Amino acid sequence: MINQSDNVVKLNSINRRMFILAIAKITILGGIVSRLFFLQIKENKKYLTLSDKNRIREWKLPPVRGDFQDYFGNIIAGNFEAYQLHLIPEQVDNFKYTINRIKNILELSNKEFQKILKRKNEIKPWETLIVADNLNWENFSKINNNLYDLNGVKPIISISRNYPYKGNYTHILGYVSQANENDILSSEIIKEKFVQGLKVGKTGLEKSFEHNLIGTNSIERYEVNAYGRRVSQLAFQEGDKGKTVKLTVDTKIQKLANELLIDQAGSICVMDIFTGHIIAMHSSPSFDPNAFVFGISQDEWQLIRNNPMKPLINKSISGNYSPGSTIKPIVALSALENGIVNPNFTVHCRGHKHPLELYGQTYHCWKKEGHGYVNMKEAMKQSCDSYFYEVARRLGVDKLSETAKKFGLGKKVFNDLFGNEKNGLVPNTEWKKNVIGRNWLLGETIITGIGQGYIQTTPIQLCLMTAQIANGGHKIYPKLVIDDNLSFENDKFISLVNSKKHIKFIQEAMFSSTNEIRGTSYKSRIDDPKYQFAGKTGTAQVKRITDRDRELDLKTSEIPYEERDHALYVAFGPYKNPRYALSILIEHGGSGGSNAAPLAKKLFKEIVDRHEIRKNFETKKYLNI
């Protein structure tokens, strides 16, 4: 029998347990209430922000690139709407399923599909994968119609680069392509504005003016559901388009230069002899820069890269060539300026049978039967090598070098505007001693006098040289880009000559070379004074001519292409009131008189006709200010 004291003990024990349990419940409930109060009241702003971060996404778009315009305001590098397909791998529930669905919808080849998978492996899971960067409208519509089954996939209407004139401006403008690691590391601005798909300048003015052209990013904010799918757009902050860069080039002249050099390797440069404006600067062959915008295929790249005519080289500023006889106006001018000879100085040219012999070397004139007795004007007109051998011998290479450099040879024309412009080379005795470690030889002076040997020039330098002869020997500062905020250095008329009559004589001699019988470019003359021009031919050897070569006397077409001479021509016009100068180079084109000079005839007709249009445009522009 259980006594009463046992019942009391049990009851007390139960009461204690109930009390402890109640205390525990109260403590737990109090903790929960306290925590809820802390989260809801004290930490409200923090967790509201975190919630918004999960609910609201921010999308940074590539900036809109600024345009390039020609002199008349025509867009020569602009933008167009490109339909793209993006996705972020970590936001896709089943990447394998999604990417295979995309493959089927877009009917991608296995090669294209593998490229996408490779790109996916090269980026971080939270970075944007560009599945397609230039969809046509049909495929873009298909993707939009199937979005219900493509979680995390984003069809995007983006802005991309377009070059409406294709290969006409390639070597001036360059091209853009997707920014790579080197671009990001080398530029803080590119790093700051980088998003997947950002296109940046790789060559030419696109690269030089990157910081002006790039613009600022647009920002899009939108709300997503629990699955990360976009529900609604909340805000859009539009970025600023990059600046417009205006060039001095006339597209019509630029296109004509392209047409004249079609299927040939070479360069045509045209310059205003007073303002220094570059009217045209074409290098041939060219290529379509649009091919690089979305990534060029390996096959296309190899075709361009392995082309023996080297389309990747901007021959106008990066091609170093012997100037040949186009240097003779400078040789003659230097001799006159230094008082070495006068215009009546005469040399007897007896051709191949009686060459100049010096220290065991023979120096021939190009004309087999010789030119007979010639003074300076006749020697220039007929491009007599024997005459200029003797003038160069008397002048010396150091005086010749000084004059040549004054007129723009041996130095970059555009300073640092292009990363690939070459200096060329105007040698002198000090240069050879310092660079080669040998003394200068008299025979080297003689061949320098006809534009052979060590001397190297670029086509744009020859154009500048000719422009400064044409304007009466005044220094000009070539310009390719118009900046209305800059004062033109051309206002400083610095004379490069001691005597105006010397430069006038050179102009007249160049006129005779083109417009008088026996002139080397006589067949390319224009009789109408409106279009009449003065010029100088040049034929630059690319290999030494042996006695056997002289005996064979082969036609240009019979010589292997890579062994043919380069054809050159420089000119200015209209002769009575000069305004424009040009240089023409045709690699392995043979004779300058036969192959380069005829192009000048077509060019000057177009250039002079366009002058009035250009002049009227300038007048209207200043009246509208």
Cα 78–chain centre separation: 15
One-letter amino acid for residue 142 of the chain: K
Contact by Cβ (8 Å): 583, 463: yes
Q: For residue 416, give both structure tokens.
A: 């640092």
Q: Which residues contact 363 (CB under 8 A, 6 or more apart)?
A: 355, 356, 357, 385, 386, 389, 443, 446, 447
580-586 vs 566-573, strand pairing mode: antiparallel
The CB density around residue 43, as the number of other CB atoms within 10 Å, is 13
Alpha carbon separation from 25 to 12, 13, 31, 36 (Å, rounded)? 20, 18, 10, 16
203-213 in b/e burial notation, b at 16+ Cβ within 10 A? Answer: bbbbbbbbeeb
- Please, what sign has the CA dihedral across residues 293, 296, 302, 307? negative
Nearest C-alpha neighbor of 159 from the set 243, 64, 66, 236? 64
Phi, psi angles (nearest 5°) of residue 31: -65, -40
Query: From its phi and psi, is residue 618 left (phi > 0), alpha (psi between -120 and 50) or beta?
Result: alpha
Q: For residue 538, give both structure tokens.
A: 């040049």
Check 208, 283, 325, 583 and give the catalytic one.
325
Query: Alpha-carbon distance 392 to 387, whole Å?
Result: 9
Q: For residue 427, give both structure tokens.
A: 């040698």
- Please, what sign has the CA dihedral across residues 146, 150, 156, 161? negative
> Is 187 a catalytic site residue?
no
- Can you point out the beta strands (E) in 16-62? 56-61
H-helix or E-strand spanning residue 221: strand 218-224
For the chain, the farthest-separated pair of C-alpha atoms sits apart, in whole angstroms, at 159
H-helix or E-strand spanning residue 283: strand 278-284
Query: Alpha-carbon distance 380 to 343, whole Å?
Result: 11
Q: Catalytic positions, please?
A: 325
